Structure 1
Amino acid sequence: MNRKLDLRTGRPVWFAYRSPAVPTQKLMRDVKTDVLVVGMGISGAMIAQSVAASGRSVVCVDRRGPLEGSTSATTALVQFEVDQPLTTLASKIGKAKAEQAWRRSKLAVANLGARIEELAIKCSPSPKPSLYLAGNVLGPTALREEAQARRAAGIHSTYLTKAALQKEFGIDREGAIISHDNLALDPRKLAAGLFLSALEAKARYYAPVEIAGMETSREDVVAATTHGPTITAKHVVLATGYELTDIVPAARHQIISTWAIATRPQKNSLWRDQAFIWEASDPYLYMRTIQDGRVICGGEDEEFSDEDSRDQLIDAKSARIAAKLKALFPQLDTEPVFAWAGSFGTTSTGLPYIGTIPQHPRIFAVMGYGGNGITYSQIASEIIVSALEGASDTDASLFAFGN
């Protein structure tokens, strides 16, 4: 029913930090539930927890197991800044919609922070400022216009001149935008914490389970598995990342590969406020720190075409990323201790698709997260639970299939 792809390769840094185990069971018989979630990564975790908290029964399945896919490959810069600059997005979908998307993204990061606190999930959450450096996509003049556009949309942003950036952060670039209220965290611990919270509300997890096909009626969806038992649900949510199922429209959806490294701990060499840093460039470099003083740096994105070729590039890409990081911060030891590659889906606008699949009103899908995966997963959990409750999320149409 869906493509089987190699979601990541190498050694992601998050495996250096122990996350709670998520217990699963074998699917030995037919089961029924209100909501079936296919995929047990960060998106599935957020949706499962929201559904369980709403009082509905939920079953989650994964053909690998919990947190075994793309979630471990994320660098977890949980930002409200959308991959597409506000000024660029406005030229594609209109000023009002672009502002709406950016504001919802900012709200999602705040909501996720509150959710983590409310559920007491131990995932090392830490608020971080973000520096968006001038590059080959937006130079100093365009970056000033971007900051003005954000402020006009009600999003606080400050433009830093070359001199101010050098003085305050020791970075030699032509300019930057500084923003606030982004979030650093451990993605595996977050996902595990959400699954465990849903488990307390009687969620059921089965793995490894592969869905072979789905039959939809007016009242429910019957999902067949490759090993026999069926799962009958009132609604299904496909949270399978870029492993798209046959019924999900793939128009304007593109697969991108990215590479990342993590250094040794070096707390005394880090930059001011340990801000997230990323570039207004294509491809762009992005970086953050971990609480123990490691630096994560990623980038060198390319359109995905062949998994083997992607994996063979890990050494070369890691060396290039380390060299770029060293050029930006000469005081750092940028020798990679961890290096990995991962792939993700993105769209032409940089916005995800969230909602029911055309001609399949009981089946939701979430896809095209780009570089804002965790932020968009939060939005998806809000929109989908709202729909299950018969309400209409005010921003649902912005992310609906067919836009």
Structure 2
Amino acid sequence: MPRKLDLRTGRPVWSTYRAPVVPTASLTRDVKTDVLIIGMGISGAMMAEALTADGHEVICIDRRGPLKGSTPATTALVQFEIDQPLSTLSRMIGKTSARQAWRRSRLAVTNLAGRIAELGIKCRPTRTQSLYLAGTVLGPAELREEADARRQAGIKATYLTPAPLAERYGIDRDGAILSPDNIALDPRKLTAGLLLKALERNARFYAPVEATAIEGSADEVVVATKDGPAITARHVVLATGYELVDIVPAAAHQVISTWAIATRPQPRKLWPGAAFIWEASDPYLYVRATADGRVICGGEDEDFVDETRRDELIADKSARIAAKLGQLFPHLDVDPEFAWTGSFGTTTTGLPYIGAIPRHPRIHAVMGYGGNGITFSQIASEIISASIKGLADTDAELFAFNR
């Protein structure tokens, strides 16, 4: 079962906004269900809502409880732009597949926005543009090539030269790509809203419950738990985030550390449109605003997962991130009111792994998220719910474990 990680430390900004309470029960006896979801963060919540909407009987378990893993540590830039630029991804997996991955990512953001509106989930969603700034990975010439690649794939992209970038947004960089149709939201409120919707449809939530072993057979999966009771399901979905389960192939996936800060509310000092901002650099800086005008800024990622070392760096990394934010927007108050750190998964292509685990057709997994965790969780909820219904999703192969 999973290697246990302390997924986050510090005080994420979302702790200042109240999310609805998601009630859970104690698991006191063996139970059976149609689908068992392990994990009650954003991925598990999206799966639970999608599967209960399809009429499935669903049980969710979590060893901590709802909303207590990585979800509160996300900066929740719900964007369709994948970490790996389209021009780069095309060279890695071929132009056709790369274009389709980007298009599916864009569709997922649209679908999620529609789902939030349809379900009436109060998570302060706002449509926002994003600015992808020239940096150490893509300079101005490569950024122009990237904008062309996106347009040829049918994805709207506007290349901004330094003058309009400075004029419109007050940013001094060598160039940027402007994209529409991303979403900013409160990830805890979204997760709670989706779980409560599943609960209305008679999903059963048990926590804290820790899965210790998973045994799959031709027609069912039996999951043993730490305190004794077993759960038998026709299908199991592993939505354990960055805590990798032994049964899941660890191919091309690594867990890294990131840091973030949030300022006091300063709505009058925000840049026009409060667009998401991120850089074509490695590691990149990413910036967004909250609905009440705080500025969230993160980055300084490092390729290690030692929690003690990661946590010791909070003060130093916060100061560095604040300094970089101050260089980008000198008029902002960049003093961190909140500072936190977390671990997250990345893959070489920037694409997630979604679907049935090789040789285990009834055990499905969602993993490898990069900067698009929420977008990829939406894609997973679509692909896996189709698979459980016995339907084929046209893009399933793009994200499959054996791709």
- TM (norm. structure 2) is 0.99
Query: Shift of the alpha carbon at 1:219?
Result: 1.0
Aligned mates of 2:253, 2:201 — CA distance in 1: 35
Letter in 1 for 2:27: L
Q: How does 1:318-329 map to 2 (within 5 A)?
A: 318-329=318-329
Q: Please tell me the residue identity of whatever aligns with 1:88.
A: T
The question of 1:399 aligning with 2:395 is answered no
Give the 3-state SS of the residue equivalent to 2:51 in structure 1. helix
Q: Distance in 1 between matches of 2:24 and 2:181?
A: 35
Q: Please give the residue correspondences for 1:28-107 in structure 2 after superposition, counting only pairs within 5 Å.
A: 28-107=28-107
Question: How far apart, CA to CA, are the structure 1 residues paired with 2:304 and 2:242?
Answer: 11
Letter in 2 for 1:190: L
1:162 aligns to what?
162
Correspondence for 1:13: 13
Deviation readout 1:248-275 (Å, 9 max, x if unpaired): 0002111111100000011111101000
**SS in structure 2 opposite 1:385?**
helix
Give CA-to-partner distance per residue, 1:268-300, whole Å, 9 cap, x none: 111010000000001100010011110000000
Kindly report which structure 2 residues correspond to 1:350-369, keeping only aligned pairs within 5 A, or say none: 350-369=350-369
Partner of 1:187: 187
Describe the superposition over 1:230-265 as per-residue Cα deviations: whole angstroms up to 9, x where unpaired.
100000000001111111000211111110000001
Per the TM alignment, residue 163 of structure 1 is displaced from its structure 2 partner at its CA by: 0.8
Who is 1:4 aligned against? 4
Amino acid at match of 1:104: R
1:305 positional shift: 3.3
Q: What are the ranges of 5 or more consecutive residues in structure 1 without an aligned counterpart?
A: none
Identity of aligned residues (%): 70
Q: Cα offset for 1:217?
A: 1.5
Instruction: Work out the CA distance in 2 between the residues paired with 1:57 and 1:117.
Output: 24
Instruction: Tell me the equivalent position of 1:217.
Output: 217
How big is each residue's C-alpha offset from its partner over 1:362-396, in whole Å with a ceiling of 9 and x where there is no partner? 00000001110000000000000100111100000
- Whole-Å Cα distance in 2 between the matches of residues 337 and 77 of structure 1? 19
- Give the corresponding residue for 1:273: 273
Q: Deviations over 1:86-120 (max 9, x none)?
A: 00101110000000000000000000000000000
Aligned partner of residue 376 in structure 1, secondary structure? helix
Following superposition, which runs of at least 4 residues in structure 1 exceed 4 angstroms of deviation?
none
Alignment of 1:330-341 (within 5 A): 330-341=330-341
The 5 Å alignment of 1:297-336 reads: 297-336=297-336
The residue aligned with 1:119 is 119
Q: For residue 286 of structure 1, what is the aligned residue in structure 2? A: 286
What's the RMSD between the two structures over aligned residues? 0.5
1:252 and 2:252 are equivalent in the alignment: yes
Alignment partner of 1:374 is 2:341:
no
Letter in 2 for 1:382: E
Alignment TM-score, normalising by the size of structure 1: 0.99
- Distance (Å, rounded) in 2 between the aligned partners of 1:99 and 1:291: 32
Q: Which amino acid aligns with 2:249?
A: P
> Number of residues paired by the alignment?
403
